[in-house]
């Protein structure tokens, strides 16, 4: 394609380092769509003849069905998807194929193709994240009353509901989707017509190609259009954050399913056995979701480092934008699917959760709050009194609600037996009615709100 001023072919190792077809063939659909839009526009502007544009479009359609039917031979010698398609087009329609590349460079072509690909990928991921949210919200509704220990520092802190805990991840996923939507909005400008770097002397209608490809508008600076990959960075940043969120839940599943903890069970569908230890039920899927985060963050780091020292405009370094991004986004899509599957699959051991919620003096804050409300103690003093009561209970080896009233009165004489009304875990969660709090009635309302919202989105 570019051999005019060359007298010999490339060295084998040159070809190997240069070729991107092994991974950029994933852009075939976008490449063909962009070429069709470009040819159409060239014809409308009188830059190429209408019948040439028609045979170009027909040829491109044939290539599309050849690729989709697995009948297309990709060639490394042709470097990338753009030249593979154009070369086949020449075989199919002859010299008219040579007119397609008028007023176009592979630089604006690849920037266009990859933005289109990114947009499609974001749309698929968004739908998958919505499915994950739905799985969480459904499980949350089912477990709006299921009491579990809430932790800070992984130490028993206060009782919460399992539904509330799951809804926390619905909120995170909502922000993840927001970040992808923001990235999508910003990347949705058409580089096509920017040429190699400077624009072109042909009278193009860039609005027309932008519109045909579903872009909001053409990019306003040709140098910027062919040489920035911030849309890759931004999408991968969103992906990295989303994967960190998934990884935290994955880690919780690993903890919860450990026999030492045993708060949650996964069915055979989401566990694996050990080849040596017959008793094992390993949460491999959760561990792999946790691990995928590494390569997703790696891809973000990769593109940031590739770009940081590049002068304007295009440099071949940018070809390295694709493999990492494609790998990372497919890893994320698999991780989302696996998490949605595990969330639906998991069963909490509600009895064990309730029991664990009552251990570790989880209702100590409720006792302190009672002292504030009933005895009008300042909270700091109530905190201190409660601390002494907890120490006494611990000394006697009993939970707070089993400590005799007299023992409490020895520390604060004004305590009455009304105090026992706040010491159960159920009373505790029921009382957390502040907006965003863990009370079952809040959780039910929030879970329903999410399910309705997710349903309306579709
Ligand atoms: N395969 C190339 C890439 O991904 C396409 C652009 C090539 N442009 C060039 N000037 N060599 O970046």
Residue 391 — pLDDT band, cuts 50, 70, 90? very high
Tell me 220's DSSP state: S
What b/e sequence results for 246-263 when a residue is b if at least 16 CB atoms lie within 10 Å of its CB, and e otherwise? Answer: bbebbebbbbbbeeeeeb
The rounded Å distance from CA 414 to ligand 1 centre is: 80
Residue 360 — pLDDT band, cuts 50, 70, 90? confident
Sequence-ordered list of residues with C-beta below 8 angstroms from that of 352, at least 6 positions apart, any chain: 262, 263
The rounded Å distance from CA 110 to ligand 1 centre is: 7
Here the tokens at position 112 are: 């266009």
Could you report the per-residue pLDDT of 285-343, keeping only the tens digit for each? 999 999 999 999 999 999 999 999 999 999 999 999 999 999 999 999 999 999 999 99
Could you report the per-residue pLDDT of 38-91, keeping only the tens digit for each? 999 999 999 999 999 999 999 999 999 999 999 999 999 999 999 999 999 999
- Which protein residue's CA is at the shortest distance from atom 10 of ligand 1? 107
- Which protein residue's CA is at the shortest distance from atom 11 of ligand 1? 316
- Type and span of the H or E element at 451: helix 440-457
Largest CA distance in the chain: 101
Which of 139, 161, 167 shows the shortest CA–CA distance to 149? Answer: 161
* pLDDT of 272: 87
CA dist 14 and 42 (Å) reads 34
Residue 30 near residue 108 (C-beta atoms within 8 A): no
Here the tokens at position 403 are: 């400590």
Could you report the per-residue pLDDT of 228-251, keeping only the tens digit for each? 999 999 999 999 999 999 999 999
The rounded Å distance from CA 316 to ligand 1 centre is: 6
Residue 351 — pLDDT band, cuts 50, 70, 90? very high
CA dist 27 and 113 (Å) reads 6
CA dist 99 and 454 (Å) reads 48
Sequence-ordered list of residues with C-beta below 8 angstroms from that of 239, at least 6 positions apart, any chain: 125, 296, 299, 300, 328, 329, 332
The rounded Å distance from CA 224 to ligand 1 centre is: 15
Q: Which atom of ligand 1 is the closest one to the Cα of 322?
A: 4
CA dist 161 and 233 (Å) reads 37
Pocket perturbation via mutation, ligand 1, pick of 316, 321, 324, 325 by most ligand atoms within 8 A of CB: 316
What b/e sequence results for 31-41 when a residue is b if at least 16 CB atoms lie within 10 Å of its CB, and e otherwise? Answer: bbbbbbbbbbb
Has residue 9 got a pLDDT over 90? Answer: no
Which of 345, 436, 338 shows the shortest CA–CA distance to 129? Answer: 338
The rounded Å distance from CA 170 to ligand 1 centre is: 40
Has residue 143 got a pLDDT over 90? Answer: yes
- Residue list, ligand 1 pocket, CB within 6 Å: 20, 24, 80, 106-107, 110, 314, 316, 318-319
Could you report the per-residue pLDDT of 257-283, keeping only the tens digit for each? 999 999 999 999 999 887 888 888 899
Pocket perturbation via mutation, ligand 1, pick of 80, 101, 225, 320 by most ligand atoms within 8 A of CB: 80
CA dist 255 and 3 (Å) reads 60
Pocket perturbation via mutation, ligand 1, pick of 77, 101, 110, 229 by most ligand atoms within 8 A of CB: 110
Residue 5 — pLDDT band, cuts 50, 70, 90? confident
CA dist 228 and 303 (Å) reads 11
Residue 126 — pLDDT band, cuts 50, 70, 90? very high
Q: Which atom of ligand 1 is the closest one to the Cα of 196?
A: 10
Residue 271 near residue 283 (C-beta atoms within 8 A): yes
Residue 156 near residue 360 (C-beta atoms within 8 A): yes
Residues assigned a catalytic role: 153, 274
- Which protein residue's CA is at the shortest distance from atom 2 of ligand 1? 319
The rounded Å distance from CA 106 to ligand 1 centre is: 6
228 SS3 class: coil
Has residue 2 got a pLDDT over 80? Answer: no
Could you report the per-residue pLDDT of 167-196, keeping only the tens digit for each? 999 999 999 999 999 999 999 999 999 999
The mean pLDDT of the chain is: 96
Here the tokens at position 13 are: 């190792």
Q: Which atom of ligand 1 is the closest one to the Cα of 20?
A: 1
CA dist 84 and 445 (Å) reads 55
Here the tokens at position 166 are: 């799951």
């Amino acid at each position: 394609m570019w051999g005019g001023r060359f007298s010999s072919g490339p060295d084998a190792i040159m070809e190997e380092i240069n070729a991107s077809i092994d991974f950029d063939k994933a852009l075939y659909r976008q490449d063909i769509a962009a070429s069709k839009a470009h040819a159409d526009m060239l014809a409308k502007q009188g830059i190429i003849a209408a019948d040439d544009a028609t045979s170009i479009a027909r040829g491109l359609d044939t290539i599309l069905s050849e690729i989709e039917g697995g009948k297309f031979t990709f060639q490394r010698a042709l470097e990338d998807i753009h030249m593979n398609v154009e070369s086949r087009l020449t075989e199919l329609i002859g010299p008219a194929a040579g007119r397609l590349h008028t007023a176009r460079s592979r630089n604006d072509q690849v920037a266009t193709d990859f933005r289109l690909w990114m947009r499609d990928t974001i749309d698929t991921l968004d739908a998958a994240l919505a499915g994950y949210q739905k799985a969480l919200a459904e499980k949350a509704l089912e477990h709006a009353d299921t009491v579990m220990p809430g932790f800070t520092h992984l130490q028993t802190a206060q009782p919460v509901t399992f539904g509330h805990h799951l809804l926390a991840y619905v909120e995170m996923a909502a922000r993840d989707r927001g970040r992808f939507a923001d990235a999508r909005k910003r990347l949705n400008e058409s580089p096509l017509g920017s040429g190699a770097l400077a624009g072109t002397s042909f009278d193009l209608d860039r609005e027309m190609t932008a519109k045909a490809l579903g872009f909001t508008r053409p990019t306003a600076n040709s140098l910027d259009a062919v040489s920035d990959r911030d849309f890759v960075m931004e999408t991968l940043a969103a992906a990295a954050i989303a994967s960190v969120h998934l990884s935290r839940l994955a880690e919780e599943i690993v903890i919860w399913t450990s026999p030492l903890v045993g708060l949650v069970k996964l069915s055979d569908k989401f566990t694996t056995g050990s080849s040596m230890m017959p008793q094992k039920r390993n949460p491999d899927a959760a561990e792999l979701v946790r691990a995928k985060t590494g390569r997703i963050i790696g891809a973000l780091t990769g593109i940031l480092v590739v770009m940081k020292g590049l002068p304007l405009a295009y440099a071949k370094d940018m070809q390295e934008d694709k493999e990492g991004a494609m790998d990372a986004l497919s890893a994320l899509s698999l991780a989302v699917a696996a998490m949605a599957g595990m969330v639906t699959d998991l069963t909490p051991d509600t009895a064990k959760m309730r029991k664990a919620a009552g251990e570790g003096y989880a209702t100590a804050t409720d006792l302190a709050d009672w002292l504030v409300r009933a005895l009008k103690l300042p909270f700091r003093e109530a905190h201190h009194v409660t601390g002494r009561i907890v120490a006494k209970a611990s000394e006697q080896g009993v939970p707070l609600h089993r400590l005799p009233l007299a023992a409490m009165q020895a520390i604060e004489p004004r305590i009455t037996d009304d105090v026992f009304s706040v010491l159960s875990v159920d009373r505790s969660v029921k009382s957390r009615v502040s907006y965003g709090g863990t009370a079952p009635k809040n959780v039910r309302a929030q879970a329903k709100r999410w399910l309705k919202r997710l349903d309306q989105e579709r």
